[in-house]
Each structure stands twice: as structure tokens, then as C-alpha cells.
Structure 1
Amino acid sequence: MLKFIFKRFGRLFLVLFGASIVSYALVVHSGDPLQDLRESTDADAEYQMELRAQQLNLALPWTDQYYLPWYERYWDWLVGVLGCLDPTDRIIGPCDWGTTVNGGDVTAQIANAAQVSLRLVLIATLLAIVLGVLTGIVSAMRQYSVFDYSMSFVMFLFWSLPLFWAAVIAKEYLAIRYNNWMADPHFTAGNIFAVALLLAVVVPTVIGGGPRRRVATGVVMFIYTCTVMPFLDHIHFMEQPRLGTGFIAVAAVMLAVGFTALIAGMQNLKVLYCGLAVAVLGVVSYFLTWDLMRGAQSYLLPLGLFALTLVICVAIGRLFGGYAKGQATAVTLLTGVLTSGIILLDHYMYTWPGLLSVKPRPIRTVGASTPNLRADDFWIISLDHLSQLWLPTLVMMLTSLATYTRYTRSSMLEVVQQDFIRTARAKGVTERTVVLKHAFRNAMIPLATLVAFDFAGLVGGAIIVERVFAWNSMGTMFITGLSNVDPAPVMAVIIFTGGIAVIFNFIADILYAVLDPRIRV
């Protein structure tokens, strides 16, 4: 296995090296970086040309020639980038990604731009994987049902959406019109009827069952929505939202019971008790850590508490799970993580009125954050970042969601028709075990490679989305550098995103080897 890992890891560097050579040559030959100055009528145009030539490493001091061979410029750039691998700055030299035509430091620019773009791409990828895989599995298990046909239609619709068009539509309806509605956030009778009718159709489709069951579920959802929405309007929920202790407690218990039924079965009481113990601890921690969380000054405290939650969940599952400690650990982890997410959501809901007080139009359509936001509270600043992040994330997630859903469905349908699945069912193995333990693992093998390619595609799509939402990140760096025939910022974006893509591909190769040991040969 180690030989396999080292061999794949070595190919990673060869791919990056080859991509960097080709990309640098293409950027350098894409135009004339001095074209605007050659056509300039300024008296000091020649002096500006000399300065830019020196910044781009174009000038030869002892001749009148302006251009070095591209491979010499590439070598100078490569030595500076490899210096980032030298912590002493003595063997190779200092880390230097170069400078822009305007004299800007590319190292500082890529550091700032990367955190913005990665935050967008990583969240969109994770959400698309989780939701897409779950939807694909359910569609495969309920093949040719109303749910399957509905999901196929919706996913093909998402798949065919032009990214720039979806971004513009989301910007108009989910940002601009939502901000207008927040000036007087009240549900009209038409709003209530439309939402109730939509849920009366969607929820029965998801739950499934016979015609009578779907009709009964639809009627219950219609009545429930027509009752709850006026109540939420009466208590001004859209301006002062809260989940409350009761909702968190019920949700935590439902998560524990649901994951136990899904993973181990309700007859396994030890697993059920472990899940319920985590649910109770989650509700208790909600009270004990409230003041501590409200005083947080950075993400370190929430992340530290989340890490502690993971440790406690694993400990409970391993110590009290009995012979099913693996299943118990899975149940406790899923229950603990989602309960923590619900608690975090309640904290952000508590902060929502504070954000509205300093930002009456909560979702800006320009930028990754609100400039000059008059707030020194961590929760308000964090919520502002999330309010700017969710719309681009949603747009990017939709296309990837369709991809993961369709691939998961096809892979699951192929696996469940194989001999070992029929043998497991013939031996009396429960359908839950057949799907989760045998079919699911084998169906995930093709998706391991898909994640790597999809992530690279999302990075490219992020450039378009960032332009629509006016984010100053890697997309802006790439387009500006390419327009100015400036290789330093363009290469910084290419190497950074390409490096992440090949790392994801490397992880996919390792997952392949873990899921199917025959690949190691």
C-alpha cells in the first residue's frame, strides 16, 4: 500500500510540473504585455515600458531587446515558487510568486483570494456530495416511482442550467427581491397558499407510499402549513427567529432514533441508548455553553467545542456500543454532528436581529462581505459572511448536485443487480444491511474519481460566479492577469487550483485502493 501511495504521490508533482510549463507558455504567448504603453501618447511612455519590462522580467540590461525567452522567464518564476518549499530560505531561496504589472505582490494576493474562493468551492462540494449521494440512493431504491421520475426531471433541469444565468436569476429573486420583502416581512394569503400547495405535493412525493397515503400526507401538510405560517407571521419569526429548547430536544431525539433505525435497527437497544445519550448531552450542552458561545471572538471556540463533541461521541460509541460498537459510533457521530449544527443555527438565529439593525438589507449582491460594517461582534460579522456566501454556494451546488445524484443512482442500480447482492438477500440479510453495508460501499467506487474532476470543474465555474457576484478572489486575479498578459497572477491561480485538483485526485486514488484492494496491484 505504501508503494502505491508513493507512486501516486510522485505522479502528482509530474502532472503539476507539466501543467505549469504548458500554462506559462500559453499565457506568455497570448499577447503583448506592453501593447497599451506602445500605443500610449504619454511623454513618459518609454519610461513606463522600462519599468513594466523590469517587473515582468522582460528586459535585458545590456541590449535593446525587450523579451527574454519564455523558458528563462519560466525558470526564474519556478525557482521563486519552489522557494515556498524551503522553510530556511537558504537552499532554494525565499518564497516569491512574482509581481503583477502594477507592482503588486502576487504572494499576498493569492493568499487573500484563495481563502475566499476555497470557502465557496469546498462548501458547495461537500453539500453537493452529501445531498446528491443521499438523493441518488433513494432514487435507486425506489426506481420508477414518482419520486424517481420527479428527481430525474429536477436534476436534469439543474444539469442544463447555464451557470451565469442561474447566478443572475438567484441574484434577482433570492437577494434583491428578498431584501425588498424584508422591509415589511409578512406572509400574504397568496404566499401561504402557494407554499402550502407546494409542500402538499413535494412531501408526499418524498415520503412515498400508495395513492391513499400520499393524498392523506398532502392534506395534512396543507393544513399544517396553513396553520403554522400565520403563527410565524404573528410572532415576527422572520425578524426574530429562534428554534428554542423544545425544538432542539425533539430534533436531537428524532435524529438518534432515525439513525439507529437506519444503521443498526431498533432492536439493537445498545446502539439506541448510545444515540439517545448523545442527544441528551447535546441538549444539556446547549444550556451549559450558551454564555461561553455568545462571548466567542473567533471561530476557534466553536471549532474547539465541535472537536470535543466528536471525541465524546466516539468515546460513547466505543465504550457502550457492545458488539455493535462500529454502528454505535456511526450513530453517535451523526447525531452529535447534526445536533451541534442545529445548536449553531440557533445561535445564528439569535444574532439575526442584530444583523438587521446594522444591515437592513441583509443579502448584498456585491462582494464576499459587507465593507465598513458597523459591528464588532463576532456573531454578526460571521453571519454577514454567511449571508454573502449562501447564494453563490447554492448556485454552484445545483449543477454538482445533479451530477452526484445521477451517478449515484446509476451506480447503485448496477450494484444491486449483481450476484453478491442477490446472494445476500437470498440468505435472509435485511434490506438495510444489503443497501448500507454491501451495495453502498461498492457503489461509491466510481464516485471517488468523480469528486476530483467535479472539484476542478467547480473551481472553473467559481470564476464565473465570482464575476457575477463581484467577489474579489481568484477569478478576478485570473481574468485580470490574462487580460494584461501578466503570467504571475495567472500562474498563481492555475498552480493553486491545479494543486488542489491533483490532491483530490490523489485522495480518490487512495480511496479506490481502500474500497477495492485489487487496484493496488
Structure 2
Amino acid sequence: MLVFIARRLFVSIWVFFAASVVVFFLSTNVRDPLAEARQLPDNARESAIAEITERMHLDDPTALRYVRWLGDALTGDLGVNRQGQSVNDLLETAFSATLQLITGATVLAIVIGISIGVISALRQYSALDQVVTFVAFVCFSLPLFWVGTLLKQFLALDFNDWLADPEISPMFIGGIALITGLFCGGIIVGDRRSRITAFVSATAAMAVLLYVLSVTEWFADPGLGPVVVALTAIAGAIGFTTLVSGLEWKPPLQASLIAAALGIVAYFALDPVLDDPQILTLLGLAVVAIVVSGAIGWFLGGDLYRRSAVPAAALTGLFAGAVIFVDRMLQSFADYSDSVGNRPISTVGAETPNYEGTFWESGLDSFGHLALPTLALVLISLATYTRYTRASMLEVMNQDFVRTARAKGLSERAVITRHVLRNGLIPITTLVAYDIGTIVGGAVVTERVFGWSAMGNLLTVGITQGDPMPIMAFFVVSGGAIVVFNMIADMAYAVLDPRIRLS
């Protein structure tokens, strides 16, 4: 493994070096950096041109300018831009904004896209598969700027107006309930009677839920409460146990249920701590939840079931903590909404200027600014992950070793999770690594539509001003991310498929 990493690093350094030469020479000729200075009045033109020429070393040959930039970059200094601002400072601000923008969108697109792709492959040519295929192609075809504009109008402006009187219309309740019922009926395995029962039950349950939320005006002052938190944690315990080991083994289920019970106890015991916590406090509690839950799975699982009980219990503990986090965030929604003039979903910028609030209110402020650009990126990326996952799963399901696994008597859950999904994720790993590596460079269109100043804005400003320093800073981050994540993808291949030897 170390030899492989060293070899890849050696090759990547030379590729990175050659690419930096090409990008630098192109960036120095993209536009005249003195164009704006030449339009100044006569009394200021000469001094402005001289100042920019000296700052950007325009009198030196391009090769000498590159060597000077490379020497400074190796020491961590990316120079100054045309206005004399430190590019390091600009890059730090832009990169942090980009991470804030793309992290949630990328994770959601990967998790939701792969999950839908797996379900679509398992229900090949069913009505659910046809609907997923249609929606995926529609989302893939939509221009990002148009999606962003629609979201700003209907999911921000109209939603903020609706919150003043959050009453759900009967037509909307019926539509959402029908969609939910169709989805649940489509994923159920069984005969027609089972699917119809699931459809009717899910439709009725969703209709009742939405009606109750509308009557109680829950959306104006939301919150989950201890009962919903407890039921959600227990449901998570059952779900994670089913996914990891199945319900036929008692030790993993017992460990998960105990982890969920500890989460319910923590809901009340940690009330003073969670009143206005720090981010390090929450991270520490998350680590404690994973360790304690994993330890429960270790002791209850024993030698025979430990391999399944530990991850099931650890996931349940982390999930219970996430539910408590969401509940605390929702309880602060009413106060935050009042503080921003009842306009919680923002359409422009990364944060409310000069806003000060509790930890939960500040988190809601960040979420309100991230909601629209994140949803826009997820809708566009979702189709790619869904289609790739479906195609990869279908290809693996027709392999001989899958038929052998079924012939040996393995349960369908074990066949899908241990054999089909694991091998089907190999091509998806390449896609994920490339996607993360490229999106770290910024989402130019999304940033422009929603008024974010991040990596994409750093690149466009450098191009429009003919300034190679911001462009090279963009290249260092985005190019480095592509190299690193592709190396991680190569190492992940060996984890997913033992037949792959890195040597």
C-alpha cells in the first residue's frame, strides 16, 4: 500500500507540475490586465499602469513570472492579486464558503442517489423504476440557473409568505399522500395484496399526519418532542439492524434497542448542556455516542454476533443523537424566524449580515442560506448517481457469483448488501471521487445565482480581470483535490474488491 501511494504521488506531482505550466501560460493571456487602467483620465492613467505593471511583474517574461510564482507557491505564498490583496486570504475565505456550500449537497446527492439507484435496480421495469428513470432524466436535463430561479420563487418567496399562515390545502395533502403511498407500494416485496395494503396504509398515514400538522400550525413553531424522538430512535434501531444483520439474530437487535434507549435518556439528561452548546461539545457527544453504542454491541454481540452488533448499535446511537439535534434545531425555529422578519429561507448570500443568536439560531441561519443552493445541486447531481448505481447493480446481479450465493442459501438481504452492492459500488467510487474533486473547485453557476462568494467567484474574477494569481490559486485547490480523491478512489477499490491488488 505504501509503495502504491508513493508511486501515485510521484506520478501525480509531475502531472500537477505540467498542468500548472499550461494553466499559468493560458491565464496570463486570457485578458489584458491593464485594460481598465488605460481607460482612466490622463492624470491617473500612467501611475495606475505603472503600479499594476510593477505589482504583477508585467515587464518580465511569462516563463520568469511562472518560476517566481512556483517558488513562492512552494513556500505557501500564492502572491497578491491585481489590487494588491493577499491571494492566500482570498483563497481561505472562498474555500471555506465552498466547503460550506458543497459538503451537504454532495453527501445528500451521494446517499440519496445511491439509495434510489439500488431500489430502482431491485424493482427493474416496475412502475417505481419507470418513474425514477423519468424523474432522473428530467432533473439531469434541467439548466442549473433555471432550477435556481424556480427555487427562489416557489420555495423561498412563496414558502416564506405561506409561513405567515401555515395552512395546508386539501389538494396538497391528497397529492403528497398519494405520492407517498405509491412509493411505499412500489418498494414493498410481495404479491399484489401486500403492495395494495402498503399503498393504502402509507397514503392514509401521510394524509392524517399532514392534516394534524396543518390544524396545529406546526410549521410556525415546529418541534419533535420526546415521544417522536423515542419512536424515531426505536425505528432507527430496527432499520439499522435489518440492514446490517437482519432481524433473525437477537443480539444485534438488543444492542441497537439499548443504544436507542440510551439516546432517549440522553434527551432528558443533556437538556442543560444542549441549551446553547459549542460545536466541539456536540462533536464530543457524537464521539461518545458512537463509542458507548459500539461497546454495547461488542459485549452483547459476543464472539458470534459481534461483527453485526457493533455497527448496528453504533449507527443507532449516532442516529439517535442526530434526531435530538434536529429536535433542538426545530425548537429554535420560531425565535429565529421572528428575528429575521419571518423570512427564514434566504435567496442571496451565505449568512445574514451582523446576525447574532444562539448556536441553534445561527445554525438555522446557515441552513436557511444553504437550503436553496444545496437543493439545486442535489437535484442536478441526483440523476447521475441514480442511473450509474442502477446500471452497475443490474450488471452485478447477473454475474455467476451472485447466482452461486443464492444457490448456497444466503438470504436476499445478504446477497444484496454483501455481494451485489459491494461490487456495484466500484464504478460509483470513481464517479464520487471525480465529482468531489471537481466540485471542490466551486459551483460557478450556483454561486452566481444565489450570490455566494466562493471558489467559482474567485476564478471568474481572475478571468475577467486578467489576473493569473487567483486563477492559479483556484487551480492549486481544485487540481490538488482531483489528484487526492482519485488516489483515495484507487485505494477504495481494494477495500471493495479483494481481487484488486494495488501492486
Within-5 A mapping of 1:438-453:
438-453=419-434
| Number of the residue aligned with 1:408 | 389
| Number of the residue aligned with 1:17 | 17
Deviation of the 1:247 alpha carbon: 0.9
2:346 to 364, 370, 378: 364
Return the letter of the residue paired with 1:321.
Answer: G
Return the letter of the residue paired with 1:316.
Answer: I
Return the letter of the residue paired with 2:119.
Answer: V
1:76 lines up with 2:62 in the alignment: no
TM-score, scaled to structure 2: 0.95
2: distance between equivalents of 1:450 and 1:280? 38
Deviation of the 1:211 alpha carbon: 4.1
Return the letter of the residue paired with 1:76.
Answer: R
| Number of the residue aligned with 2:301 | 321
Residues 482 and 490, structure 1, Cα contact 8 Å, conserved in 2 = yes
| Number of the residue aligned with 2:183 | 202
2: distance between equivalents of 1:403 and 1:192? 30
1: distance between equivalents of 2:419 and 2:205? 39
2: distance between equivalents of 1:260 and 1:106? 50
Deviation of the 1:10 alpha carbon: 2.2
| Number of the residue aligned with 1:485 | 466
Residues 256 and 313, structure 2, Cα contact 8 Å, conserved in 1 = yes
| Number of the residue aligned with 1:193 | 174
1:337 lines up with 2:312 in the alignment: no
Deviation of the 1:455 alpha carbon: 2.0
In structure 2, stretches of 5+ residues that fail to align are none
| Number of the residue aligned with 1:231 | 212
Deviation of the 1:136 alpha carbon: 1.4
| Number of the residue aligned with 1:302 | 282
1:180-220: CA deviations, max 9, x gaps? Answer: 21222222333333333333433323446544444444433
1: distance between equivalents of 2:204 and 2:416? 35
2: distance between equivalents of 1:408 and 1:456? 19
1:104-124: CA deviations, max 9, x gaps? Answer: 111111111101101222222
Return the letter of the residue paired with 1:261.
Answer: T
1:140-187: CA deviations, max 9, x gaps? Answer: 122111221111111111111212211111111111111121222222
1:301-332: CA deviations, max 9, x gaps? Answer: 11111111121222222232121212112211
Within-5 A mapping of 1:249-268:
249-268=230-249
| Number of the residue aligned with 2:500 | 518
| Number of the residue aligned with 1:30 | 30
Residues 396 and 461, structure 1, Cα contact 8 Å, conserved in 2 = no
Deviation of the 1:34 alpha carbon: 0.5
Within-5 A mapping of 1:53-92:
53-58=53-58, 67-84=59-76
**SS of residue paired to 1:68:** coil
Within-5 A mapping of 1:424-435:
424-435=405-416
Return the letter of the residue paired with 1:437.
Answer: R
**SS of residue paired to 1:292:** coil
Residues 442 and 456, structure 2, Cα contact 8 Å, conserved in 1 = no
| Number of the residue aligned with 2:291 | 311
Residues 251 and 301, structure 2, Cα contact 8 Å, conserved in 1 = yes
| Number of the residue aligned with 1:287 | 268
| Number of the residue aligned with 1:164 | 145
Return the letter of the residue paired with 1:47.
Answer: S
1: distance between equivalents of 2:266 and 2:347? 37
Return the letter of the residue paired with 1:37.
Answer: A
1: distance between equivalents of 2:357 and 2:190? 52
CA-based RMSD of the aligned residues comes to: 1.8
Decide which moves more: 72-81 or 107-116.
Answer: 72-81
| Number of the residue aligned with 1:45 | 45
1:27-86: CA deviations, max 9, x gaps? Answer: 10112111122233341111011111122122xxxxxxxx311121111112222112xx
Decide which moves more: 112-121 or 259-268.
Answer: 259-268
Residues 12 and 506, structure 1, Cα contact 8 Å, conserved in 2 = no
In structure 1, stretches of 5+ residues that fail to align are 59-66, 85-95
Residues 441 and 477, structure 2, Cα contact 8 Å, conserved in 1 = no
Residues 438 and 478, structure 2, Cα contact 8 Å, conserved in 1 = no
| Number of the residue aligned with 1:241 | 222
2: distance between equivalents of 1:427 and 1:76? 65
2: distance between equivalents of 1:74 and 1:125? 34
**SS of residue paired to 1:238:** helix
2: distance between equivalents of 1:352 and 1:488? 42
192 and 444 in structure 1: CA distance in 2 versus 1, 3 angstrom threshold = closer
Decide which moves more: 445-454 or 36-45.
Answer: 36-45
Within-5 A mapping of 1:135-174:
135-174=116-155
Decide which moves more: 256-265 or 496-505.
Answer: 256-265
| Number of the residue aligned with 1:476 | 457
Return the letter of the residue paired with 1:179.
Answer: N
2: distance between equivalents of 1:460 and 1:429? 44
Return the letter of the residue paired with 2:500.
Answer: R
**SS of residue paired to 2:106:** helix
Return the letter of the residue paired with 1:18.
Answer: A
1:498 lines up with 2:479 in the alignment: yes
Residues 396 and 458, structure 1, Cα contact 8 Å, conserved in 2 = no
**SS of residue paired to 2:220:** coil
1:284-311: CA deviations, max 9, x gaps? Answer: 1111112101121x31111111111121
TM-score, scaled to structure 1: 0.92
Within-5 A mapping of 1:217-228:
217-228=198-209
**SS of residue paired to 2:466:** coil
Return the letter of the residue paired with 2:61.
Answer: P
